[in-house]
Amino acid sequence: MKGVILAGGLGSRLYPLTYATNKHLLPIYNKPMVFYPIQTLVNAGIKEIMVVTGGPHAGDFLRVLKNGEGLGVDKMVYSYQEGEGGISAALILAEKFAAGDSVCVILGDNTTDADISKDVQDFKSGAKIFLKKVPDPERFGVPVFENDKIVRIEEKPKSPKSDYAVTGLYIYDKKCFDFIRELKPSDRGELEISDLNNKYIDIGELEFSELTGYWRDAGTFNTILEAGNYWFNKSQTQLK
């Protein structure tokens, strides 16, 4: 299985911080933000990773990550996304890198200490998404349940039908790239990852798990602070 970190976008919600560099290189406690998703993949046994980036600061990743040396990565490659076409549009740039293999995809602003190694090892086909209860589900894709099964995922709903968020962590088989080519842009003009997940729901091949441990996306000023405090407190506990 290959790993894909989606770290594009302009980070406009985090201006003026992102005038200086890409959002995913901003600090979360004592590491650049993108180090956390890299560690999630490496801890799951995934050592070949593509970073999909974009915007005016894309070159900063080469200076910070280099070839992944010291991060436990065997192979680190990069792809550049022109414009902002959505998460699915970024993912399809990894098709040649995947070379017919399954992919574990994580957004570059996700920080978690959950262990997904068993999920990676057990994955055979279809898709798997990871859920987490959050206080602000309207910021995310939200699963709609019927009889303990997900029947659809609604993207950033004004009235969420559950308090679960679809975290920015997914596993897909190679069909995902064909499905992305079938997607139509949403009202936001983007190819939504929720629409890709709904494709797998439609064919009965989407599974889900609830993440254990800490998870938060560091996409706002408040969640950057929250995530930094969590990792600081965890480091202090480990020192005792």
Q: Which pLDDT band, with edges at 50, 70 and 90, does 239 fall under?
A: confident
Gap between the Cα atoms of 156 and 219, Å rounded: 14
Range with the poorest average pLDDT among 20-34, 39-53, 74-88, 102-116: 74-88
CA distances to 130, 143, 180, 238 from 232, in Å: 25, 31, 38, 10
Q: Which pLDDT band, with edges at 50, 70 and 90, does 189 fall under?
A: confident
Mean pLDDT score, 187-206:
94
- Tell me what pLDDT residue 237 has: 83
- Structural tokens at position 218: 């560091």
Q: What is the CATH number of the domain that holds 218?
A: 3.90.550.10
Angle between helices 175-182 and 193-202 (to 10 degrees): 110
Burial class (CB in 10 A: 0-12, 13-18, 19+), 103: buried
On the question of pLDDT at 50 being above 70, the answer is: yes
- Among residues of the chain, what percentage have pLDDT more than 90? 88
Gap between the Cα atoms of 191 and 110, Å rounded: 20
- Tell me what pLDDT residue 240 has: 65
- Strand ranges for the chain from DSSP E: 2-7, 27-28, 31-32, 48-54, 75-81, 103-107, 110-112, 127-133, 141-146, 149-155, 164-172, 206-210, 215-217
Q: Domain tally for the chain?
A: 1
Closest CA to 230 of 68, 31, 93: 31
Gap between the Cα atoms of 18 and 194, Å rounded: 26
- Structural tokens at position 46: 């995934």
148's enclosing H/E stretch is none
pTM: 0.95
Q: Which domain holds residue 131?
A: 2-239
